[in-house]
Amino acid sequence: MRLALIVFAAALCLPVAAGAQQIAITIDDAPVHGPVPEGETYVGVAARMIAALSEAGDAPATIFINGGSIEQNPDAAAALDLWRAAGQALGNHTWTHQNPNAIGAEAYEAEILHNEPLLALLMGERDWRWFRYPFLAEGDDPALRDRIRSFLDERGYRVASVTMSFDDWAWTQPYVRCRAQGDDAAIARMERAYMEAADAAFDHSRAMARALYGEDIPYVLLLHTGAFHARMLPHVLAHYRGKGAEFVSLEAAQSHPFYEADMRVTPSDEPLYLETALAARGQTAPPKPWDIAWLETVCR
């Protein structure tokens, strides 16, 4: 155990390689995550995020949708149409963003099925059978987790993993509050913290992979839709490209052996995240090098 910790610590100190680092961009909760500031629209958010991907060398992305939004907001369907027209891939994120621990297997499976006609309509002949667990919650009970995985396998899905994230969802509500108050100084602080977290997450994931394999793997980046995310996406993508990132499709990234359990989508005890893979080898993953707790108090 002590040797494993020493090896991991050494990996953290390794310099970042200069070559291109492959990252698959995934964006959850379309048409939008949480509320938007007054004057913003779901369509506007989608348009700005699509433009940012285009400016980043036509970066491919997989957009995970909650179709239930179209029942509450007429702007939602138009935003999803924009994503479709942009040629980006769409995937299933359940109809109303549910946690299997809260609703059980039968209701959860119904949530997945409810989303399918909309995905089929939007995507036509294109492949839409990617699934992203809301909250990344697969079910605390092994029987629940295995049943859902078996259901997804029967439906022909692959699971979208996450190997790079900086909890970007946590900026959604504070941005709405600060916009309402006109607090430009607070928003500027949020922007700085967001970029610092994005930078730290890039190096954090690479360090964990290098501790596991001695080299990088293709990473799957988790982002969210939203007004603040649309504001920051051009900067995040430019920053990652400056650090040597190359944006690839989700399928290309998950062709790496690390993702085999999610690509098979069968009940498995294999580690599904970098942190759990390290734990399985007796190595302790470092704590997240970014903080989101302070966002709870911003513009209160």
Q: Nearest 5°: CA angle at 292, between 288 and 296?
A: 160
Q: What is the pLDDT of residue 222?
A: 98
Q: What is the CATH number of the domain that holds 67?
A: 3.20.20.370
**DSSP at 86:** T
| Buried/exposed code over 2-19 (b: 16+ C-beta within 10 A; e: otherwise) | eeeeeebeebeeeeeeee
What SS3 class is residue 158?
strand
In a domain, 8, yes or no: no
Q: What is the pLDDT of residue 17?
A: 42
User: Rounded to whole angstroms, how far apart are CA atoms 1 and 284?
Assistant: 9
Q: How many CB atoms lie within 10 A of CB 137?
A: 14
**DSSP at 281:** T
On whether the CB atoms of residues 220 and 26 are closer than 8 A, the answer is yes
User: Rounded to whole angstroms, how far apart are CA atoms 193 and 182?
Assistant: 19
Mean pLDDT by 10 residues, the chain (300 residues): 34 44 98 96 98 98 97 93 97 97 98 98 97 96 96 98 98 98 98 98 97 96 98 98 97 97 87 91 93 97
In a domain, 1, yes or no: no
Q: What is the pLDDT of residue 269?
A: 77
User: Rounded to whole angstroms, how far apart are CA atoms 129 and 209?
Assistant: 27
Contacts of 210 (CB under 8 A, 6+ apart): 11, 14, 216
- Helix, strand, coil shares of the chain, percent, nearest 5, are 55, 10, 35
In a domain, 16, yes or no: no
Residue range(s) defining the domain that contains residue 151: 21-297
In a domain, 10, yes or no: no
Q: How many CB atoms lie within 10 A of CB 41?
A: 17
Q: What would the DSSP string read from start to end of 163-199?
A: SB---GGGGHHHHHHHHHHT-HHHHHHHHHHHHHHHH
In a domain, 15, yes or no: no
User: Rounded to whole angstroms, how far apart are CA atoms 168 and 224?
Assistant: 7
User: Rounded to whole angstroms, how far apart are CA atoms 172 and 157?
Assistant: 29
On whether the CB atoms of residues 29 and 64 are closer than 8 A, the answer is yes
**DSSP at 40:** -
In a domain, 27, yes or no: yes
pTM of the shown model: 0.93
Q: Tally the domains of the chain.
A: 1
